[in-house]
Amino acid sequence: MNTDLGNYRKSYEKQELLEQNLSDNPLEVFQKWFHEVDANFNIGETNAMTLSTIGIDGFPKSRVVLLKKFTYEGFIFYSNYESEKGKAIANNQNVCLSFFWPEAERQIIIKGKAEKIADNLSDGYFESRPRGSQLGALVSNQSETIKDRTTLENDLKSLEEQYEGKPIPRPKFWGGYIVKPVEIEFWQGRPNRLHDRIRYQLDEDFNWIQDRLSP
């Protein structure tokens, strides 16, 4: 196999990222960018983000998860605590989130520390999910080897019968994480690969320090 992608090129010319237009707080910049992209570009899941962790085997691993809430404190997503990503976070809280919105020629890279949110917050979100998603969380031993698809579907059917007409409790192995950022970088594509890169870093006094990075 020999596939040359050297001629894949695109000129980024839609927008610019200038310091005088930015807030001192990167969470406010994130909110502005997110709502602009969500409102003005045809993106299926604006909240899709890549989560990178350091596995217990020492290798980094990335996968796409869905952002479910963001606040001044950080970014919240939900997962199985006993999954591969859950075990990685338990072993090493340092994670990276990244959003890439090609239609807007924008990217955001977030370094932070992940920790579990309070049980009552996970309970509240779990109760808001469709029953199918609730059962899916309950039936899946995420990241574990299974015999075949039929086994999974049979287990789901058994749970559907067990909980017919009844509320479905949140399993204790499933819940939310919040990623509290220590660094956020905003990337805006520009012509001739002279992209705008603005980085915010949290200092010892919990102030955000802003820098421009060379593309």
On whether the CB atoms of residues 200 and 208 are closer than 8 A, the answer is yes
| CB atoms near residue 178 (< 10 Å) | 20
- Does some domain include residue 162? no
Position 5 scores a pLDDT of: 86
Provide the number of structural domains found in the chain.
Answer: 1
Distance CA 114, CA 94 (A): 7
- Does some domain include residue 57? yes
- Count Cβ atoms within 10 A of the Cβ of residue 87 and give its class: 0-12 exposed, 13-18 middle, 19 or more buried: middle
Domain range for residue 109? Answer: 19-127+174-212
Phi-psi region of 133 (alpha: psi -120 to 50; beta: other; left: phi over 0): alpha
**Separation of first and last alpha carbons in the chain:** 32
Please tell me which residue in 190, 193, 199, 212 is annotated as part of the active site: 193
Q: Which amino acid appears at position 122 of this protein?
A: S
Q: Is 149 assigned a catalytic role?
A: no
- Does some domain include residue 90? yes
pTM higher than the cut 0.85: yes
- Does some domain include residue 207? yes
CA 211 to chain CA mean position, Å: 24
Position 208 scores a pLDDT of: 98
Q: What is the CATH number of the domain that holds 110?
A: 2.30.110.10
- Does some domain include residue 149? no
Q: What is the pLDDT along the chain (215 residues), one digit of tens a residue?
A: 999 888 888 889 999 999 999 999 999 999 999 999 999 998 999 999 999 999 999 999 999 999 999 999 999 999 999 999 999 999 999 999 999 999 999 999 999 999 999 999 999 999 999 999 999 999 988 878 888 999 889 999 999 999 999 999 999 999 999 999 999 999 999 999 999 999 999 999 999 999 999 99
On whether the CB atoms of residues 93 and 71 are closer than 8 A, the answer is no
Position 141 scores a pLDDT of: 83
- Does some domain include residue 8? no
| CB atoms near residue 89 (< 10 Å) | 23
